[in-house]
Structure 1
Amino acid sequence: MNLLLSFIWVALTGSMYYSNFLFGFLLGFFILWIMNRNEVDQRYFYRVPKTIGFVFYFLYEMIMANIHVAYDVITPRHFSKPGIVRFPMEAKTDLEIHLLSTVISMTPGTLILDISEDRKSLFIHVMYLKSKDDFITQIQNGFEKRLLEVLR
């Protein structure tokens, strides 16, 4: 419904710009929020801000990882310390596991090697591994926590 309101806004204004679509989306979100304030199911109004926050977090992490890898490639000394980490997941469903593994793999310097037989762990190849515990904590408090907030 929010996307439909955004497209209606763009059609009414006749301006096909991203900024106009974004304004229409925010306006539609506000209208839907006002109309559904007293409804029992308010999940949409919590998920949209969390989704936007997750997208910005992912973009930040991806840019920082790209800079880190590019710096390592450009400089004559190599800073890589590769390692394989067994990451215990809280993700349970196929969608959660797939999205988590995709997001981790899209970040430069990490690659998903395998999923355990019991589907409770990911095996991740990390290009810059300083500490396994720090890496696991970073993924748990970063990607996994934010992704599960969006999906659950």
Structure 2
Amino acid sequence: MKRWLPSPLVAGILLLLWLLLHQSMDPATFLLGALLAIGVPMLTRPFFHPIGFPRIKKPMLLCRLLFVAGMEIVRSAFNVGRIILFARPAGLNSQFIRIPLDLRNPYGLALLSCLINMTPGTVWVEIEPEKYELVLHVFDLHDEQWWIDTIKAEYEKPLIDIFE
């Protein structure tokens, strides 16, 4: 079963999304969706991490984290828009900062990367594997310690509790 359907949940979600996108249950649409639902997980199997799928220990904390991140994304979008429209380029302080990380779980790091990169004005540049130090680019940096404290308290700590 695992050889032909390595991830039944992913296959089911793909089929459901395919049918929802096409808004049709005719046989041809269903057959093509089923082929994609079986084929995509088989083709992407080499990319799955050897530790398997993540174990989410605290799903409610994950929901809270995603809500907080969503609010931060909206707030940052308004701030970056205001800076782009009304600030003088000479007044910008665009810099790289380094943030030491305690998070080691690859799924937690991937989610942290997604949350940081979705937030306007910030870009995850790299993580230095020997020191587990995150290099972050901030569009308009005013207080480096605030960024370090926010990433560690609002994002990293909940991710450690969720995944480790």
Q: State the secondary structure of the residue aligned to 2:74.
A: helix
Indicate the percent of aligned positions where both proteins have the same amino acid: 24
Equivalent residue for 2:156? Answer: 144
Task: For structure 2, list consecutive stretches of 5 or more residues without a partner in the other structure.
Answer: 1-54
Equivalent residue for 2:60? Answer: 49
Residue 71 of structure 1 pairs with residue 88 of structure 2: no
Measured in 2, the distance between the counterparts of 1:91 and 1:119 equals 12
Q: State the secondary structure of the residue aligned to 2:140.
A: coil
Q: State the secondary structure of the residue aligned to 1:130.
A: coil
- Report deviation, 1:146: 2.1
Residue 130 of structure 1 pairs with residue 154 of structure 2: no
Structure 1 stretches of 4+ with a deviation exceeding 4 A read none
Task: For structure 1, list consecutive stretches of 5 or more residues without a partner in the other structure.
Answer: 1-42
Amino acid at match of 2:154: G
- Report deviation, 1:58: 0.7
Q: State the secondary structure of the residue aligned to 1:91.
A: coil
Measured in 2, the distance between the counterparts of 1:139 and 1:115 equals 14
Cα root mean square deviation, aligned: 2.2
Q: How many residues align?
A: 110
Amino acid at match of 1:133: Q
- Report deviation, 1:148: 2.1
Equivalent residue for 2:71? Answer: 60
Matches within 5 A, 1:1-152: 47-78=58-89, 80-118=92-130, 120-152=132-164
Measured in 2, the distance between the counterparts of 1:147 and 1:93 equals 9
